[in-house]
Structure formats: C-alpha cells, structure tokens
Amino acid sequence: MNLTPFIPEIASTQAYQFELLFWYIAITTGLVGGAVYAALAYFCIKYRRGNTTGSTPRILGSHRLELAWTVMPLFVFMSYFAGGVIVYNNAAHPPEDAMEIFVIGKQWMWKAQYPTGQRIIIGGNPRNMTEAERESIGKLILPVGRPVKITITSEDVIHDFGIPAFRSKMDAVPGRYTQVWYHPTRTGEYHIFCDQYCGTWHSLMVGKVKVVEQKEFDDWLMGHTPLQGSRNAVDGSLAHEGRQLFLKLNCISCHSSTPNGKAPVLEGLYGSRVPLRGGGAEIADEEYIIKSIRRPRLAVVDGWESIMPAYDETQVTKEQMDALVAYIRSLKKGQTPDRTEYFPAPNGAPTYPRTQSPEKK
C-alpha cells in the first residue's frame, strides 16, 4: 500500500521520532474526539423528541468522576509535552562528531559548502547565475548513517531550508546563523524546498538531497574540486559574516574595489609586506589587521593619509573583529563587494532608494 500522500518518506532518525509522536497525538485525540461524536449521535437518537424512554436520574455532582476526568487528561497531555520535549531537544542538539555543512539562502537558490571546500548550488535559474555558480549546480550529497550539522544563513531575505523526508525545516535569516542536523537512515533522493515565501521566483528554490553510502560520498568529494581559498566551512561562514560587517560599518566607502584616493584596496593584503610611513614595513598578519582597525595611527601605510577612524570595542566587538579579520584574510583579487550592495536588505524593502533606481541610471 502506498501511503506517500499521507506519510511522506521517512529518511532520518528524527523523522521516525517525529512520526511516532505525531501519530500518538493524532490517534489519542482522534479516539477521544470520535468517542464524543459517537456519544452525541447515540444520545441524539435515544433522547429524541417524543421518545418515551423516561426521565434521567437527578445527579448533583460526583467528586470521583470530576477527579477522573481532570486527572486522566492531565496525564495524557503531559505525555504529549514530554514527547515534544524529547523530540525537540534531540533536534536542537547536534552530536559533537557531526560533519558540518554550510548552507546560504540567496534569492533564489541555495548555496551549500562542504568542510573540504566543495560548493553546490541547489535550485535557482541558471540564466541568472555567474559562470562559477552554473558549474556547481547539483544535489546536496550526504552520507548515510552519519550525523551532519547544517549551519544556515541568508544573503538577502528570510528563506527556510526544508527537507520533508527528514521532517526538518529551519529559517535562513540574514545576519544570523541557525542550525539543524540530520542522521539520514536510507539512501535515496529527497526533496529540498524553500519553505518561506521569498519573492517572485520562490518556486525555483527547490532541489534534491541525495543520500549515498559513505564510500560513494568520499568518491564524490574527491572528484569534486574544492573552491579555492575556502579552508573549511567554519572559516567560510565567519568570513561571510565579516563581509556583511564590512558593508554595514561602511568600511567599503573608503576601501572600495578601486583605489579611490581615500584608502588602499584590501584585496590580497593578508600575508603581504606593507611599507609604512616613516620607513620600515610590516607583514600583514592577523595582529597587523587588528591593529590597523583598532589603532590605525600606529601603522599608517606609506603613501596614504591617516584618515581612517579608530574602531574601539563599542564600535567593533571582539566577535565582530574575528569576522572582519577572517574576511580580510579571505579577500582575493576582484572579490571586494560592490559599493551599492546594501546589506542586510530588510524583508520587502526596496533595494535602491527610489531616486537612484537602477533603471534611471
């Protein structure tokens, strides 16, 4: 018997737990509801008008009955609650040894990045993609029988990464990192949907997750060349956050993609030798980058005015500094974002101020 219309495929440990709880609640509430309607129908007929069954006894309350119908449902409802806590708690805490994959939502595609640097584009319209994106179109490949943790964020509006066969979905929120984890139990292909309406081509944000044997997964990883410059997903996510900060803090107004006379371009800075005003030079490592942001006067780049404001911890927190450093460290030639790129665009807000809409340029 094919139950698919009623019970979608079950392909993860959480999906089993979810189904168990769902059917437990559906059946117990269904039984009680059914009993109420059955009694209703029975009494409708038994005590119909004109019937001569006679009068009912006069009952003025029964503590035992009242206690029974209060306490029994209490236990039943508490069992729903307990089941919910167990399932939720399990879903909210990925195991320590989970492999981490990073997923970014972007109107209207998903970008998945593996710890080894491989990148996959899921969904979207190939005609609106860059060459590199088009070449990475594919399925999210996962190994069976092993936990994976998915860290999710968005580059623009709110999306939602949903896989029905895993009974899992999670919002992708700009500027925030959310998390889900799966333990796939069956090989096969399952749907991925964007479960949050996100604009005109929301319907294109669909794709497949393909669960394969560990060996096949390893072979696939080997054959799929990693992206250059991405060391691992954690680093990639931090750099991504730093990129957003770089735009938000308006560093971009001086450090744009072209030397605009205000400030040096930061592409390829990491690891290079920077000549300083007044002689001497420094290697641009993490320490140098942090010093350049916290106390720019201490190391002014030769040939530039010392106009960069100092950013103390109220303006750039320690965590934000980590992200900025990861970003600058990862910044390669031609990767400085466009100055007119606004981030994060609030949901539904126009991307450009009306007076300078792209059509009028």
| Contact residues: ligand HEC, CB under 6 A | 249-251, 253-255, 262-264, 266, 269, 274, 284, 289, 292-293, 296, 300-301, 304-308, 311, 324, 328
Which of 112, 194, 293, 323 lies at the binding interface for Cu ion (CB under 5 A)?
Answer: 194
Cis peptide, bond prior to residue 344, ω within 30 of zero? yes
Which of 198, 299, 321, 324 lies at the binding interface for Cu ion (CB under 5 A)?
Answer: 198
Beta carbon nearer to ligand HEC, 140 or 266: 266
In whole angstroms, how close is the CB of 270 to ligand HEC at the nearest point?
9
d(CA 281, CA 160): 48
**Tokens 């993860």 -> residue:** 12
Beta carbon nearer to ligand HEC, 67 or 307: 307
Question: Which residues make Cβ contacts (< 8 Å) with residue 295, sequence separation at least 6?
Answer: 310
Using DSSP, state whether 109 is helix, strand or coil: strand
The count of residues interacting with Cu ion (CB under 5 A) is 4
Minimal CB distance residue for ligand HEC:
251
**Residue 159 in contact with Cu ion, rule: CB under 5 A:** yes
Residue type, 244: Q
d(CA 99, CA 161): 18
In whole angstroms, how close is the CB of 341 to ligand HEC at the nearest point?
15
Beta carbon nearer to ligand HEC, 121 or 324: 324
Count CA within 13 A, CB hemisphere, residue 180: 21
In whole angstroms, how close is the CB of 313 to ligand HEC at the nearest point?
13
Please, are residues 290 and 322 in contact by the beta-carbon 8 Å criterion?
A: no
Please, are residues 264 and 308 in contact by the beta-carbon 8 Å criterion?
A: no
Which conformational region is residue 224 in: left (phi greater than 0), alpha (psi within -120 to 50 degrees), or beta?
beta
In whole angstroms, how close is the CB of 221 to Cu ion at the nearest point?
27
Q: Which does 249 bind (CB under 5 to 8 A by kind): ligand HEC, Cu ion, none?
A: ligand HEC
**Residue 192 in contact with Cu ion, rule: CB under 5 A:** no
d(CA 218, CA 231): 18
List binders of Cu ion among 70-129 (CB under 5 A). none
**Residue 177: which of 350, 323, 314 has the closest Cα?**
323
In whole angstroms, how close is the CB of 138 to Cu ion at the nearest point?
18
Can you give the binding site for Cu ion, defined by CB under 5 A?
159, 194, 198, 205
